[in-house]
Chains A and B, each alone.
Chain A
Amino acid sequence: MNKATGPSASVADVIERPTKCPHCGAITQLDHGTCINCLLREGLEAKGEASRETFESILSEANVTDKQWHLGHYEILEEIGRGGMGVIYRARQQHSRRIVAVKRILAHEVNSHETLVRFRREAEAVASLDHPNILPIHEISESEEGLPFFSMKYAEGGSLRAAAPALRTKARECVRLMAKVARAIAYAHGKGVLHRDLQPGNILLDGNGEPMVSDFGLAKWLDVNSDLTRTLETLGTPGYIAPEQAEWPADELTCAADIYSLGAILFYLLTGRPPFVGPNVLYVIHQAAATPAPRLRSLAPSLDRDLETIVARCLEPDPNARYQSAEALAEDLERWLRHEPIQARRVGVFTRGRKWVRRNPTTTALVTLLVALAAVIGVMFWKKESQHPIPTGNAAIPDKSIAVLPFENLGEEKEHAFLADGVQDDILIKLAKIADLKVISRTSVMQYRGKQNVREIGNALGVSHVLEGTVRRSGGKVHVNAQLVDARTDAGIWAEQYDRELNDVFAIETEVAQSIANRLRAKVSAREKVAMQEWPTRDLAAYDLYVRAKPLIEERNLSQAVDLLNQAIARDPAFLLAYCRLAEVHDDFYFQKVDHTPRRLALAKAAIDSAFRLKPDSGEAHLALALHLYRGYLDYDHARGELALAARTLPNNAWLFEVTGYIDRRQGRWPDAVRNLKRAAELDPRNVATLGGLSATYYFLRDYEQLRNVLDRIQALDPANLSPPLFRAWISVYERADTRPVHAAIEKILADDPARAENVLKETRFWLAWSERDFADAERALAMLTENGNRFEIRGPEVSISRACGEGLIARARGDLAGAKAAFIAARPEQEKRVREDPNHVGALCVLGLIDAGLGRKDQALQEGRQAVERLPVAKNALDGPNVLYLFAIICAWTGERDLAIEQLQTLVRIPAAAGTTYGELRLDAWWDPLRGDPRFEKIVEEAKRPVALK
């Protein structure tokens, strides 16, 4: 009935002969021909509504019951709930008159016959379980529509969730219950059935308060492509799911997953909350995977250590570290009830047991079980958890190098957790001021929260020493433990304990920093000595606010960060760091276009001014000013100046070096750029963005060996990222004009990741086809790239072409001059419009020149090209200038100006950032065909084999 056209098909069905609603005249309808407008207007007030009770009571009067109100030989009495993928009713078995529960799968939840078959098989396996604490399934059957349902014992006592509040104070009762549940689970495991979805809602209680586990094994039949709606339904609270369930495919799970859940449920019963909570599902799962579970007694101090140990053992992130069977867990619980010693060993703070290196959770598995994830999250989120030993690119690890790891908070109050971060942060900052020390940036160390394989950490970060510690605040006092470890030998070489008044915490930080500097025999200048003794603020409350602001900024929760920082400043108007941070946040608002107004910039400036007033030579203030100039005004020169000033007192600030490197690059100071970016990467080795910047730089310099190194590092940090392997494959093209590795890389991506592949490969496909002169393929790729009127960026964002223009390029390469002309004619008006509308867009002008060259308008093309080059010369912008020059060279080549073309190419091959001037591309790109054979051209091609020589 309805015609579907293009993207509209997913937007709405299209009617061929629209009918107007006789009532209101609107023409939008629902399927049955009912008018949406009328349906909506029905909702306007003053027409009377019915509550559910009233409605149902009147409804029941109608003697028009549905025929299938019997399911099998069960008479449905009433709905008692909806859960998982179905509806649960209270029903009566016809013959025996017994009251049972019947669970039916709703029609729209089932998306394949296969699912039904699997469900049935699973239900049958579960039905074979016979244990007093497993809710028995009586019968499995099918409704008339062929949808399965099953009947089970009706649990009068409701679920554990409802009973939990009353149980909170009765620890023994909780343990007794869970011991029975554990035995039931052990029995099921013995029969080869995993539950996979244990949670308080699934543990029902019968009339005598006996626990009965229900919904066994049903989580298993969630499809691999389980859809978002169902997952959101089933997993309202993910706090009971073992972290590996988010990582491994369903078939690889072991009973350890159920054991985790049992521990989590017990935790919940005893404390009133699951081990991990968070603002959203994703956060919770991530926490569970990344951090150790909170100690039971930190939430319920009255419980004893043995119980804490049992629960902790269940909640170990490493499945191998948990109880190896539900039976073992049940036994320990029973021992506890009998006041006997338990088997599980307690593990101390500084002597953690086995370390388990987590591999990067693959987004595939994570997502099938939980809320949808996209690879963006994969890049930004999960990369932090990679524990792979990463080739640091450093040959030797300097002696005077250190990473200050996140300090552990041992306190009981959740609110005091920030103090531990504050202590670590301040110590890090103090040590970072010492030029003679290499101190790793915060971003890279934060990823090691809770981890303790010091040797691996040292190796991964390129440091010889590691500082770890704990912080506990109780009442008005603070207790700090700090330990310096030699990462090469894993030997502790210094440790200290501090027990002070809370307000003295800053003094502790200074002492620790001084001791470390001593131990490492770092040369500390007089000025650095003074800097180390500075307290960030005198007001602890202000400091707390400041420390809380940091994670908010990382989470992009800017407005709340501003609030906190303002409060901190209100408490202590001399809090220099808070001003600097505040300026940073305001600039972020501006830069990210959340509030792209002059007012925002003014706010940033005001904060910076305050900082300078407090301390005219403050490195942090210079850095904040540099950021302000860079992001607010794109004033690279001045920003660079400020950065140089900041660098004098902030020798270990990775970000400073990174931005300096980018500015250097833009201004053509390539050796400086490389040096600064390398330094940034050294100080912040796990920062993928920095490495990305470095990789681009090496590409521009044609230094393929270094490029490969950096790509390897990125890949190790972020295996899910498709760019490094693809980029690497292209190096073969650049170096040797060999396109085969690109084919192989594409095949691999298609095999590993078919759904994402098409998107990611669009551009590569075009360039590959172009390089191989497979014009049919190139056209196909071009069509995909320019779908919906998108433009194809052939030389960065500055230089983009339309589909018609691309077709012109391809036609010309093919030798089809008439076809090329037609395409360029079609492309020209739009391009001209672009130039007219934005005269500052130099790239658009070059592309116009290209089109004109393709149309044979020699003079015009050359003029446009020259103008473009004049307006954006390489000297002015070392990144975009070369691209403009490149296009000009093509224009020259096409208009028969050979000498001019070669002159441009000679320049291009000797400067960095000229994309396209690699050996392979010069050899293969069709637009250089007019120049082939010319010995000068060939010479340039040969020269492109070598890296760009830096003066």
Chain B
Amino acid sequence: MNLEAEPRVFATTRWSLVLAGANSEGDQPKAAEALAELCRTYWRPIFSYICRRGYSNEDAQDVTQDFFLMILETNWLRQADQGRGRFRSLLLKSLQNFLHNAADKNRTLKRGGGAQFVSWDAWMAEAPSQLSIPDRALDALAPERLFDLRWAATVVEHALRRLREECEGKGRLRLFEGLRDHLTAERADISYADLAAALGVAETVVKKQLHNLRQRYRWLLREEIAQTVENPADVDDEIRHLCAALAAAA
């Protein structure tokens, strides 16, 4: 099989759109939207990294905004010449460069003007931090590890949120709420009887629906990851990388 002739399977993932947009002008509007969507989803790892690098809360907010502006405003991807690859790693690298350059900037005629443009409370409220981690582990983490950790949390949260929305769209929110904590549990650990009683359905229904939710969750999770890589083959690898980051926190 001639690999070069193979059409890109994930032509519609966001990252692929962004990459396509980097190469051709016609693809740019879609690419821009895709990039904006990606940024919108993954701002938290950026913010965490910047905080961890020592910026105060307010400064980190500013820098985060500046960074995203740079990404969204300039032809970021075309400039990031370091070959393709994953959105996550490219973003981190750009962020590191960005912070490095920011420190060098001459301040004499620095920026001025411009109001607070993001209601941070609203933004944070929209995507509340659900990540919990022991104190000493947090301090011991290198910023890059924290970035990956946050990224992993974001991916998972996002997939769960979509799952929730899909259930809600079908009027099965209660079902979701009841079963969500058991998505990864082993059979042996689940009390089907209790769940059945709580939801008011038969045990067999619980088993079937839980299985169903799991299947869907997996699809959504892989889809989330896929949005940020170029090749389908990379999804597993990306998941493993993120797992490794979580292990480092142990």
**Quick check: is B146 within 8 A (CB to CB) of the other chain?**
yes
B27 to chain A, nearest CB (A): 10
Given A39-B184, A232-B37, A362-B113, residue A111 in contact with residue B246 (CB < 8 A): no
Q: Bound complex: CA of A329 vs CA of B172, how far in Å? A: 49
Closest B residue to A52 by beta carbon equals B166
Contacts of A559 in B (CB 8 A): 78-79, 81
Q: Find out whether the CB atom of B135 lies under 8 angstroms from the CB atom of A5.
A: yes
Q: Find out whether the CB atom of A367 lies under 8 angstroms from the CB atom of B114.
A: yes
Q: Find out whether the CB atom of B222 lies under 8 angstroms from the CB atom of A49.
A: yes
Chain A, range 120-172, C-beta contacts under 8 Å to B: none
Q: Bound complex: CA of A76 vs CA of B54, how far in Å? A: 50
Q: Find out whether the CB atom of B125 lies under 8 angstroms from the CB atom of A23.
A: no
B112 to chain A, nearest CB (A): 3
Q: Find out whether the CB atom of A42 lies under 8 angstroms from the CB atom of B246.
A: no
Chain A, range 36-58, C-beta contacts under 8 Å to B: 36-45, 47-52, 54-56, 58
Contacts of A16 in B (CB 8 A): 135
Closest A residue to B43 by beta carbon equals A228
**Quick check: is A904 within 8 A (CB to CB) of the other chain?**
no
Given A43-B218, A43-B239, A55-B212, residue A692 in contact with residue B133 (CB < 8 A): no
**Quick check: is B31 within 8 A (CB to CB) of the other chain?**
yes
Chain A 705-749 against B: per-residue CB contact (8 Å), 1 yes, 0 no? 000000000100001111100000000000000000000000000
The stretch of A370-378, A391-399, A404-412, A470-478 that contacts the partner chain? A370-378
Contacts of B169 in A (CB 8 A): 78-79, 87
Q: Find out whether the CB atom of A723 lies under 8 angstroms from the CB atom of B108.
A: yes
Contacts of B219 in A (CB 8 A): 49-51, 55
Q: Bound complex: CA of A368 vs CA of B116, how far in Å? A: 9
**Quick check: is A279 within 8 A (CB to CB) of the other chain?**
yes
Contacts of A52 in B (CB 8 A): 166, 216
Contacts of A287 in B (CB 8 A): none
**Quick check: is B171 within 8 A (CB to CB) of the other chain?**
yes
Closest B residue to A29 by beta carbon equals B132
Q: Find out whether the CB atom of B52 lies under 8 angstroms from the CB atom of A11.
A: yes
Chain A, range 1-51, C-beta contacts under 8 Å to B: 2-3, 5, 7-8, 10-16, 18, 22-23, 25-45, 47-51
**Quick check: is B229 within 8 A (CB to CB) of the other chain?**
no
B239's partner among A40, A593, A753 (CB-CB below 8 A) is A40
Chain A, range 530-565, C-beta contacts under 8 Å to B: 555-560
Q: Bound complex: CA of A13 vs CA of B135, how far in Å? A: 9
The stretch of A441-449, A756-764, A939-947 that contacts the partner chain? A756-764
Given A7-B51, A12-B131, A753-B115, residue A26 in contact with residue B249 (CB < 8 A): yes
Chain A 593-635 against B: per-residue CB contact (8 Å), 1 yes, 0 no? 1110000000000000000000000000000000000000000
A11's partner among B48, B173, B208 (CB-CB below 8 A) is B48
**Quick check: is B19 within 8 A (CB to CB) of the other chain?**
no
Q: Find out whether the CB atom of B133 lies under 8 angstroms from the CB atom of A12.
A: yes
Chain B, range 102-151, C-beta contacts under 8 Å to A: 108-119, 121-126, 129-135, 137-139, 146, 149-150
B155's partner among A27, A40, A60 (CB-CB below 8 A) is A40
Contacts of B54 in A (CB 8 A): 788-790
Contacts of B69 in A (CB 8 A): 282, 371-374, 376-377
Given A14-B138, A65-B172, A229-B126, residue A372 in contact with residue B73 (CB < 8 A): no
**Quick check: is A863 within 8 A (CB to CB) of the other chain?**
no
**Quick check: is B201 within 8 A (CB to CB) of the other chain?**
yes
Q: Bound complex: CA of A593 vs CA of B99, how far in Å? A: 12
Contacts of A373 in B (CB 8 A): 69, 114, 117
Q: Find out whether the CB atom of A227 lies under 8 angstroms from the CB atom of B123.
A: yes
A71 to chain B, nearest CB (A): 11
- Among A25, A719, A760, max chain B CB count under 10 A is at A760
A658 to chain B, nearest CB (A): 14
Q: Find out whether the CB atom of B201 lies under 8 angstroms from the CB atom of A63.
A: yes
A756's partner among B79, B113, B183, B242 (CB-CB below 8 A) is B113
**Quick check: is B87 within 8 A (CB to CB) of the other chain?**
no
Q: Bound complex: CA of A717 vs CA of B139, how far in Å? A: 46
Q: Find out whether the CB atom of B113 lies under 8 angstroms from the CB atom of A34.
A: no
Q: Bound complex: CA of A46 vs CA of B218, how far in Å? A: 10
Chain A 216-234 against B: per-residue CB contact (8 Å), 1 yes, 0 no? 0000000101111100100
Chain B 212-250 against A: per-residue CB contact (8 Å), 1 yes, 0 no? 101111110110010000000001100110110011011
Q: Bound complex: CA of A111 vs CA of B123, how far in Å? A: 10
Contacts of A760 in B (CB 8 A): 110-112
Contacts of A35 in B (CB 8 A): 184
Q: Find out whether the CB atom of A34 lies under 8 angstroms from the CB atom of B115.
A: no
Q: Bound complex: CA of A663 vs CA of B207, how far in Å? A: 77
**Quick check: is A826 within 8 A (CB to CB) of the other chain?**
no
Closest A residue to B218 by beta carbon equals A49
Closest A residue to B123 by beta carbon equals A227
Q: Find out whether the CB atom of B116 lies under 8 angstroms from the CB atom of A755.
A: yes
Q: Find out whether the CB atom of B205 lies under 8 angstroms from the CB atom of A62.
A: yes
Given A50-B212, A279-B32, residue A378 in contact with residue B114 (CB < 8 A): yes
Q: Find out whether the CB atom of A14 lies under 8 angstroms from the CB atom of B47.
A: no
Contacts of A753 in B (CB 8 A): 112-115
B164 to chain A, nearest CB (A): 12
A378's partner among B111, B125, B155, B171 (CB-CB below 8 A) is B111
Q: Bound complex: CA of A26 vs CA of B246, how far in Å? A: 7
Given A12-B132, A696-B108, residue A374 in contact with residue B250 (CB < 8 A): no
A749 to chain B, nearest CB (A): 8
Q: Please classify the interface of chain B as helix (H, G, I), strand (E, B), loop, or mixed, using the class held by over half of its residues.
A: helix
Given A26-B247, A753-B113, residue A282 in contact with residue B134 (CB < 8 A): no
Chain A 375-386 against B: per-residue CB contact (8 Å), 1 yes, 0 no? 111110000000
- Among B58, B69, B73, B112, max chain A CB count under 10 A is at B112
Q: Find out whether the CB atom of A714 lies under 8 angstroms from the CB atom of B109.
A: yes
Closest B residue to A13 by beta carbon equals B132
Q: Bound complex: CA of A28 vs CA of B29, how far in Å? A: 38
Q: Bound complex: CA of A558 vs CA of B246, how far in Å? A: 37
Q: Bound complex: CA of A29 vs CA of B187, how far in Å? A: 21
Q: Bound complex: CA of A248 vs CA of B60, how far in Å? A: 28
**Quick check: is B2 within 8 A (CB to CB) of the other chain?**
no
**Quick check: is B74 within 8 A (CB to CB) of the other chain?**
yes
Q: Find out whether the CB atom of A556 lies under 8 angstroms from the CB atom of B132.
A: no
Q: Find out whether the CB atom of B118 lies under 8 angstroms from the CB atom of A227.
A: yes
Given A28-B131, A372-B65, A593-B101, residue A363 in contact with residue B172 (CB < 8 A): no
Contacts of B135 in A (CB 8 A): 3, 5, 8, 14-16
Q: Bound complex: CA of A283 vs CA of B72, how far in Å? A: 10
Q: Find out whether the CB atom of A27 lies under 8 angstroms from the CB atom of B130.
A: no
Chain B, range 31-87, C-beta contacts under 8 Å to A: 31-33, 35-37, 40, 43, 47-48, 51-52, 54-60, 62, 65-66, 68-69, 72-75, 78-79, 81
Q: Find out whether the CB atom of A377 lies under 8 angstroms from the CB atom of B79.
A: no
Contacts of A692 in B (CB 8 A): 108-109
Q: Bound complex: CA of A725 vs CA of B175, how far in Å? A: 61
**Quick check: is B95 within 8 A (CB to CB) of the other chain?**
no
Chain A 441-480 against B: per-residue CB contact (8 Å), 1 yes, 0 no? 0000000000000000000000000000000000000000
**Quick check: is B157 within 8 A (CB to CB) of the other chain?**
yes
Interface pairs A-B: 7 shortest CB-CB: A722-B112, A720-B113, A755-B116, A375-B111, A50-B215, A363-B114, A375-B114
Beyond A64-B200, A65-B171, A721-B112, list 10 extra A-B contacts (CB 8 Å).
A8-B51, A10-B60, A14-B133, A55-B212, A227-B118, A277-B28, A279-B31, A372-B118, A376-B111, A593-B100
Q: Can you list 18 contacts pairing A with B, beta carbon distance less than 8 Å?
A: A7-B52, A28-B246, A28-B249, A32-B181, A33-B181, A34-B184, A35-B184, A39-B160, A43-B159, A55-B212, A279-B32, A282-B72, A364-B115, A595-B81, A689-B109, A714-B109, A722-B111, A759-B62
Interface residues, chain B, with chain A CB atoms under 8 Å away? 21, 25, 28-29, 31-33, 35-37, 40, 43, 47-48, 51-52, 54-60, 62, 65-66, 68-69, 72-75, 78-79, 81, 97, 100-101, 108-119, 121-126, 129-135, 137-139, 146, 149-150, 152-153, 155-157, 159-160, 166-175, 178, 180-181, 183-186, 189, 199-201, 205, 208-209, 212, 214-219, 221-222, 225, 235-236, 239-240, 242-243, 246-247, 249-250
